[in-house]
Amino acid sequence: EIRKLLVLPGDHIGPEIIAEALKILAVLEEELPNFKVQISYGLIGGASLDKTGSAITDEVLETAVASDAVLLGSVGGPEWAHVPGALSPEKGILHLRQRLDAFANIRPCRFYASSLLNQSPLKPEIAAGVDFVLVRENCGGAYFGTKTEFEDEARTEVERCARVSAALARTFGRGKNTDDKSPAIVWNADKANVLASGRFWRTVTHDIFEREFPDIELHDQLADSMAMVMVKAPTKFNGVIHTDNTFGDILSDISGGIVGSLGVLPSASVCGVPGSEKPVKGIYEAVHGSAPDISGTGQANPIAQILSLAMLLRYSFSMPRQADLLEDAVRKTLEVREHGGLGIRTKDLGGSASTQDVGDAVAFQFRTL
């Protein structure tokens, strides 16, 4: 079967790191005779603005609708700082998310190589072993357009997001160092103590877990206290964090701060429940921006984009084994030699390798695994 992939390289380092992720797809095509990807390319962000006057065109949006997944580079830069907000490069991403109804944003918080631990601003004994994935409702809540109080619509929004959190908890399990195969704990973060919307979020979340996922342990944590505990004892939340758009925005940035290096943080925005019968469509992008300060210098770290591709393989192409292998290849590439790795890292991680060196090393490791 042929997979359809839309690649939107974006601006500045976007195309540089996308090129490295595509090397992995080339390896897959060589190694797996039955694996075929049909890649379309499109413009987004400043590149699209310059050429078409819009940050993403309807044609690109319709190609996205017809694709199985979108691999997205980062957008923006000082060249477009003067354009009015409604036309900003970042609007391209928002339009894409809305057009695809990519309602759940998934951000893992873990150290993909133990050598990354020293990038964390937290003490190693506090940060070591942190392994959670944050699921943020992406298309509703306080951030979006018309305010409605139609309960049914809001209920559906919370429910479908809860189903994503539950599905991830099922595959996540209780962690690598245990034989316990029960689903991961889901931590629900809200402010049910002061917000009516928070009480609604909590009620609907509990309803759906009781009805559809009685086997999954669900705990509530107030979002502000979660922010504090996340810094003091982040391993407490190992498992899945389920939260709304606003708190998810803030908590996911804190979780990024725990890992410490922007260049290694991947993300996925999915349009359905992963792990169900059908693969889900999604948008896969690094958490960081277009890094105009280093574009063209060969210093951009491609790891966040490559790990985003691993998420794409896992959720949109139903290739969890290859996703695991790709994460292993990343670990081997970044890990110091004393721990059996190659120690190949870009400048942001204290190394001296180029974007291409890192991409080539991951592709090589991936091929040999």
Rg of the chain over all Cα atoms, to the nearest angstrom: 20
Partner from ligand NAI, Mg ion, none binding residue 76, C-beta < 5-8 Å depending on class:
ligand NAI
Q: How far is CA 16 from CA 212, 297, 300, 358, 365, in A?
A: 43, 10, 8, 12, 20
Shortest Cβ 68–ligand NAI spacing (Å): 21
Amino acid at 128: A
> Active-site residue 249, yes or no?
yes
In the window 201-240, what residues touch Mg ion (CB under 5 A)? none
Nearer to Mg ion, 105 or 120 (CB): 105
- Which of Mg ion, ligand NAI, none interacts with 304 (beta carbon under 5 to 8 A by kind)? ligand NAI
Question: Taking CB under 6 A as the rule, which mask of x and - marks residues 3-32 in contact with ligand NAI?
Answer: ----------x-------------------
Q: By C-beta, is 74 or 221 nearer to ligand NAI?
A: 74
Q: Using an 8 Å Cβ cutoff, are 120 and 227 in contact?
A: no
Query: Quick one: tokens of 312?
Result: 């794409």
68 belongs to the catalytic site? no
Residue 224: active-site member: yes
Length in residues, the chain: 369
Q: Answer yes or no whether residue 288 interacts with ligand NAI by CB under 6 A.
A: yes
Q: What DSSP letter does each residue of 105-143 carry, written as one string?
A: EEEEEE-SSGGGGGGSSS-HHHHTT-EEEEEEE-S-GGG
From the list 294, 291, 228, 286, the residue with the least C-alpha distance to 258 is 228
Rule CB under 6 A: say whether 77 interacts with ligand NAI: yes
Among 22, 158, 184, 304, binds ligand NAI (CB under 6 A): 304
Buried b or exposed e, range 74-113, using 16+ CB within 10 angstroms: bbbbeebeeeeeeebbbbbbebbbeebebbbbbbbbbbbb
In the DSSP assignment, the letter for residue 289 is -
Q: How many residues bind ligand NAI (CB under 6 A)?
A: 21
Binding flag, residue 249, Mg ion (CB under 5 A):
yes
> Is 191 one of the annotated active-site residues of the chain?
yes
Contacts (CB under 6 A) with ligand NAI, residues 186-215: none
The answer to whether 76 contacts ligand NAI (rule: CB under 6 A) is: yes
- Active-site residue list: 143, 191, 224, 249, 253
The residues binding ligand NAI (CB under 6 A) are 13, 74-77, 90, 93, 262-263, 285, 288-294, 300-301, 304, 348
